[in-house]
Every structure is written in structure tokens, then in C-alpha cells.
């Protein structure tokens, strides 16, 4: 084994960072009566910084089950964001 400080070439490696989402903010809900809801969500990371926006569409049975239950909506969003 060599003790030299020579550079050793390797194939390119893509490094990724993991963003930890700490919370989401519901920015806008667009309703199509008896059909669907479009929900715009801002994601916030664990340092309090903006981490992106997602647009989710709730329709069919999910939309019919929502009614006026805010907890249903929040849990639906969490499930769709895999939280």
C-alpha cells in the first residue's frame, strides 16, 4: 500500500441530501362541487425553511368521505405525502 497522497479516480457518484419535512401548510383548496378538491400545500423542513409545493387532487370516494371533517383532510394529505 502506498503512503502517497495521490488522487484516486472513481466513477462519478451522485450525492443527495435528505430533506426532513416538519410540517405542511395548506395554501389553497379549489373545490369542484360533488366532484373533487385541488389542494395546494407548502412543505416546511425541520429548520423552518420552505421545501417545496405540492398539488394534490382529492376525488371519488375520498372526496365523498371528506364532508366537513378537517382531521379527515389532514390525514388524507399525510397519507398522500407518505408521512
What are the pLDDT tens digits along the chain (83 aa)? 555 677 777 788 877 888 888 899 999 999 999 999 999 999 998 899 999 999 999 999 999 999 889 999 999 999 999 88
Decide if 68 is inside a domain.
yes
Question: What does the chain come to in residues?
Answer: 83
Secondary structure class of 64 (helix, strand, coil): helix
Q: Can you give the pLDDT at residue 41?
A: 95
- Split into its structural domains, the chain has a count of 1
Q: Can you give the pLDDT at residue 65?
A: 95
Decide if 67 is inside a domain.
yes
**pTM across the whole model:** 0.74
Question: How far, in Å, are 23, 29, 73, 79 from residue 45 at the CA level?
Answer: 7, 22, 21, 18
H/E segment holding residue 70: helix 70-80
Decide if 34 is inside a domain.
yes
Which residue range(s) make up the domain with 67? 21-80
Decide if 7 is inside a domain.
no
Residue 36 CB contacts under 8 Å (≥ 6 apart), including other chains: 57, 58, 59, 63
Decide if 40 is inside a domain.
yes
Decide if 16 is inside a domain.
no
Amino acid at each position: 500500500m502506498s503512503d502517497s497522497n495521490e488522487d484516486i479516480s472513481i466513477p462519478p457518484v451522485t450525492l443527495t441530501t435528505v430533506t426532513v419535512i416538519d410540517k405542511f401548510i395548506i395554501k389553497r383548496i379549489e373545490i369542484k362541487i360533488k366532484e373533487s378538491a385541488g389542494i395546494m400545500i407548502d412543505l416546511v423542513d425541520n429548520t423552518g425553511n420552505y421545501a417545496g409545493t405540492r398539488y394534490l387532487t382529492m376525488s371519488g370516494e375520498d372526496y365523498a368521505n371528506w364532508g366537513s371533517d378537517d382531521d379527515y383532510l389532514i390525514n388524507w394529505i399525510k397519507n398522500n405525502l407518505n408521512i
